[in-house]
Amino acid sequence: MGLSDGGCTKLDELGPDTYAYLHSDSGWGHSNAGVVRAGDAVLLIDTQYTLPMTRQLITAIDDAGLPPVTTVVNTHANGDHAWGNQLFPSADIVASVATAQSMPHDFPPALMQRLLSSDAATTAAGRYTQLHFGAFDFDGVLVTTPTTTFTGTMCLDIGGREVVLREVGPAHSDGDVIIHVPDADVCFAGDILFAADHPVMWCGPLENWIAACDSILETGATHIVPGHGPVVGPDGVRYFRAYLQHVADGLALRFSQGMPYWEAAMDLPLGPYRHLALRERLVATAAATYHHLGAPKVPPAEVLERMAQAHFNAA
C-alpha cells in the first residue's frame, strides 16, 4: 500500500504508561494516536484511517506488552481519526455529542472510493484525491459511531488514572476534543494542533480554534501530541496559535476587499509560515472563514475542486 502506513510502527513513551503513536508522514490521512494504560485498562485516543493501518496500531500496542484496548476516544469525526473504530468491538467508544452526530455524515468511505476511481481523474479534485489518498485501502470500512457521548468536560477513570476530556469545538471540526493526562504531563490535541503542515478548517470559526489553543496551554502539559506532526511543547502551541491569528486577520482583510475566498487563500502572505506544506488547505479554511464573515456556505465539492486547482496551479 505504498506509504499508507506513514512510517509508524511503534509506541513512543512520553510519560508513565502514556504513549504516542506518531506517523513520520504528517500529511493527509496520517493521523497520530495515543495510548494510556493503568493495570488491565487501556485507553486509545483515535483509531486510524483504514483497517490495515488500525491493525498495525493494534500490533504496536501488543508489541509494547499492553493489554487489549478497553476504551477508545475519538477526538473528532474525520475518518483518519475514526475509521478504525470497528476493530474495537468490545471497547467503549467515547466522543463529543457533536462528533457523534456528524460522524455518519462526514466524508464517507464510499465517496472516497468513487473519487479514487479512474473516471474521477478527469477533474482536478479527482487527480488531487488520487495523489494524496490513492495509497490507502478503504476496503471494508464501516463507520462505527461512539457508544458514550458528552458535552463540555468529561473525566474518565482509566484503571484509577484520571483522564480529562474537554470539548473545544466547533473549530477544526464540529466536535473537537482535547485529552489531558495530568499525571503524565501529556495533552493529546487531535486536529486542534497541526505541527508540520498547514491545517485545514472544515468548520470554524478561527476565533474558536484560537481559543482551543488557549485551552491546550491551560492544561499546563509540557508534552502535546498533535493530530499530525511531531510532539511539541507549549511554544509549539503558541506558534500555531499565532499562525491562526495571522490567517484570521489576513482573510478578514481580503473578505472586506471583495476578494474571492480561493484567491484570498493563495494571496495571503505567509512570512514565518511559508515553510509549511500543503498550502492549498488554506482554500478550505478561507471558504469556512468567509462563511462565518457572512458569505454563503460553499458546497464541499466546490471547496475540494478549488483546493485541488490551487495545488496544481502552484506546482
User: What digits encode the pLDDT tens for the residues 211-220?
Assistant: 999 999 999 9
Per residue in 85-96, pLDDT tens? 999 999 999 999
Q: How far is the C-alpha of 200 from the C-alpha of 276, rounded, in Å?
A: 12
Query: In the prediction, which pLDDT does 6 show?
Result: 61
What integer is the mean pLDDT of 102-109? 86
Q: Model confidence over 184-208: pLDDT tens digits?
A: 999 999 999 999 999 999 999 999 9
Calculate mean pLDDT across residues 110-117.
Answer: 76
What is the number of alpha carbons within 13 Å of residue 41 lying toward its C-beta? 12
Is pLDDT above 70 for 8?
A: no
Beta strands in the chain, from DSSP E residues, in sequence order: 12-15, 18-21, 33-38, 41-45, 71-73, 92-96, 148-150, 153-158, 161-167, 177-181, 186-194, 223-228
DSSP annotation of 138: -
Query: pLDDT by residue (tens digit) across 237-282?
Result: 999 999 999 999 999 999 999 999 999 999 999 999 999 999 999 9
Beta bridge partners of 226: 190
pLDDT of residue 2: 32
Closest CA to 8 of 57, 64, 65, 62: 57
Cell of 103: 460522524
Residue percentage of the chain with pLDDT more than 70 = 97
CB distance 204 to 288 below 8 Å = yes
Task: Give the three-state DSSP class for 228.
Answer: strand
Residues 77, 58: Cα–Cα separation, whole Å: 20
Say whether pLDDT at 3 is over 50.
no
Q: Residue 1 — very low, low, confident or very high, per pLDDT cuts 50/70/90? A: very low
Sequence-separated (6 or more) residues with CB below 8 Å from residue 289: 201, 204, 205, 206, 247, 248, 251, 252, 255, 261
Q: Which residue has the cell 499565532?
A: 242
**pLDDT at residue 7 in the model:** 67
Sketch out the chain's domains with CATH numbers: 12-233 (3.60.15.10)
Residues 6+ positions from 74 with CB-CB distance below 8 Å: 46, 47, 81, 82, 85, 93, 94, 95, 99, 103, 146, 177
**Does the structure show a pLDDT above 70 at 12?**
yes
Sign of CA dihedral 89, 94, 95, 101: positive
Tell me if 225 sits within 8 A of 231, measured CB to CB.
yes
- Return the pLDDT at 121: 73
Residues 36-60: tens digit of each pLDDT? 999 999 999 999 999 999 999 999 9
SS3 content of the chain, % helix, strand, coil (to 5): 40, 20, 40
Cα distance between residue 187 and residue 109, in whole Å: 29
